[in-house]
Structure formats: C-alpha cells, structure tokens
Amino acid sequence: MEPISETLKRVVNAPAFSERYSEMRKEVLAHPGVQKFLEDHSDEIDAPTIDRGLHKLYEYIDQSHDCNKCPSLDGCINHLKGFEPNLVLERGTIGISYTQCRLKDVNDNKRHASSLIHSMYMPKEVMQATLSGFELDDSRMEAFRTVGEFLDQATGPDNLPEKGLYLYGQFGIGKSYLLSAVANELADINVKTVLVFVPEFMREMKQAIGDQTLQEKVDYVKKADVLMLDDIGAEAMSSWTRDEVLGTILHYRMSEKLPTFMSSNFSYSELEYHLTYSQRGEKEDLKAARIMERIRALTTPVMLDGRNRRN
C-alpha cells in the first residue's frame, strides 16, 4: 500500500490540482480586503506565510462583508450567522476573528427597543406604530407637532419633560396609534414605557384583589419611566377603581414628576363628568375634581381630529 505522504505529494503535484491552486491563489490575492490586510502587515508577512494561511484567506473572501452578500440576518451566509470575518495575524500565522455584523446590530437594537415597551392589553398592530406612518392632515398637525416637541426635549430616561399629553377626539382617528409611535421613539433613547388599555386594566385590578397581586400591578404601572393610559373614560369606573387605583397612580406620578400620556374620547370637562358618577349613580363631584386636578397637572390637552381610520 502506498504511504499517505506519497499519495498527497502525487495529488498536489498533479497538473489539474496545481492549476486550481494557482487560480484560487490569484482570486484570494486579488480581493481588496486581503490586499489591505497584506499591505497593513507587509513587514510581517512573506510568501510562505501567505501560502500557509491561504485556506484562511479563502475562508475570509468566501463570506459576506458589511452584509454585502446577505439579503437579511436570517439569510446570512457566514459561518457564524450575524458575524463577519476579520483577518488577523497571530504569532506569525494568518487567522480569522469574527465581529457582530451591521444587520445583527440593527436586529439587536430593535429587540432591545421592543423590550423597553411593555404593553398591557394593547392590540399588536398598534404596537408596530411609527411616526412616519402617522397620516398627516391639517386636523392632525397640532397633535403631531406637540408630540414632536415632547420628543425633542426627551434625551434619555434621566431627562424627560415632566408633562405628557392628553390626546382626545372621536373614535378611530389614531390616538392609540400615536401613543404607540411615541413609545417606539422613546425606546430608541432607552426610555421604558408602559402602555395600558384602561378598561381592561381596571377589570383586572378588581380580580387582582382575589389573587393578592393588586399592589404589585399598581406599583409596576405607577413607577414606569413613561406611562400611557389609553382610552381612559371608556371603562365602567367605580368609586374604588377611580380613587384607589387611578387616583393612587396619578398621585404618585404627579409627586415624582413622571411624564404621563392619556388618550380619551372625552375632553377634560367631559371626562370630569364621567368620573363624577359612580356605577351606583352616586354623584361625587369632589372626588372627580381631585382626579382631574392630577390629570391637568400631568398632561397638556391636545385635540386630535380627522376621519375614522377604522372604517
């Protein structure tokens, strides 16, 4: 039997193999990334070093650089998905190290941003909202401008305007969408936002008494960097949910100067009327006025108008 060393010599010295090797070497050395690497290390790399490291150089050129060969992160062709190769010289030997690629950076940033937005009972489609997707016309310009002013002043979790907005208007005109778009913008500067659909939240608070999670849930909501209460006024408000839940949340946020956004079909005066009457029909002007005092302290009212975009 022929020794393996002799077999390898015969294969390597074969004309076809030598030709393929020569073509591969030319292809590798013509690559701009390889040329730059060799220029940067010209005083350390000689021809034998290149020949010994040719398989690493080929591994380098065969992959995507700056995502130029990958349609998406899922379609990444590199050996380590989401990481691109870099040539390195280690103790006189050519090698490869991997660093996170641009597409993975974008993907990780999106995942981080989404982790900063905590939704309670909000529709999924609303949570994908963007300011660029907010349809503008004359009746919606004021709300868009006021949102822009808030975002211009917000530079991070430790530097936020004290007052949020109270967006009010008819059904289906984009109030919830605009709140979510603001939350997504805030996530880009590492601000944690909690969005709460108020009617469902109030129903859960009643159930939370039985499972002893009431205080935990109220604390979670009231301490958010930014709180957004969507569709306030659509709930069947009892004296208890108004005073012990909503009142507690608003009082804490007013004391701590934490920005709060709200959306409603009601104006301030209409919401106060709604809060005045309990489910039992009792008229409680003073308690409603106390809640409204906190809402006025926490928000600036902005009317949102236009056509119903749900129809």
Higher pLDDT, 77 or 209: 77
Span 288-302, mean pLDDT?
A: 96
* Residue in 263, 181, 273, 256 with CA at minimum distance from that of residue 228: 263
N residues, the chain: 311
* Residue in 17, 92, 31, 19 with CA at minimum distance from that of residue 63: 31
Q: Is residue 214 within 8 Å of 208, Cβ to Cβ?
A: yes
Q: Which regions of the chain carry the CATH code 3.40.50.300? A: 116-303
Round to whole Å and give the CA distance between 271 and 136.
Answer: 27
**Where is mean pLDDT largest: 3-7, 195-199, 207-211?**
195-199
The packing angle between helices 214-222 and 198-211, to 10°, is 140
Q: What is the DSSP string of 177-189?
A: HHHHHHHHHHHTT
**Which pLDDT value is given to residue 289?**
95
Backbone conformation region of residue 60, classed left if phi is above 0, alpha if psi is from -120 to 50, else beta: alpha
**pTM to 2 decimals?**
0.65
Which of the four CATH numbers 3.40.50.300, 3.40.50.720, 1.10.260.40, 3.40.366.30 does domain 116-303 have? 3.40.50.300
Helix spans in the chain (H)? 4-12, 15-30, 32-40, 47-52, 54-61, 102-115, 124-127, 141-153, 175-187, 198-211, 214-222, 239-240, 247-256, 268-276, 285-298
State which amino acid sits at residue 71: P
State which amino acid sits at residue 50: I
Looking from the CA of 206 toward its CB, the CA atoms found within 13 Å total 13
Tens digit of pLDDT for each residue in 35-60? Answer: 999 999 989 999 889 889 888 888 89
**Which pLDDT value is given to residue 82?**
87
Span 181-210, mean pLDDT?
A: 88
Encoding tokens for residue 39? 């220029």
pLDDT category at 28 given cuts 50, 70, 90 is confident
pLDDT category at 238 given cuts 50, 70, 90 is confident
Q: Kindly tell me if the per-residue pLDDT of 108 is higher than 80.
A: no
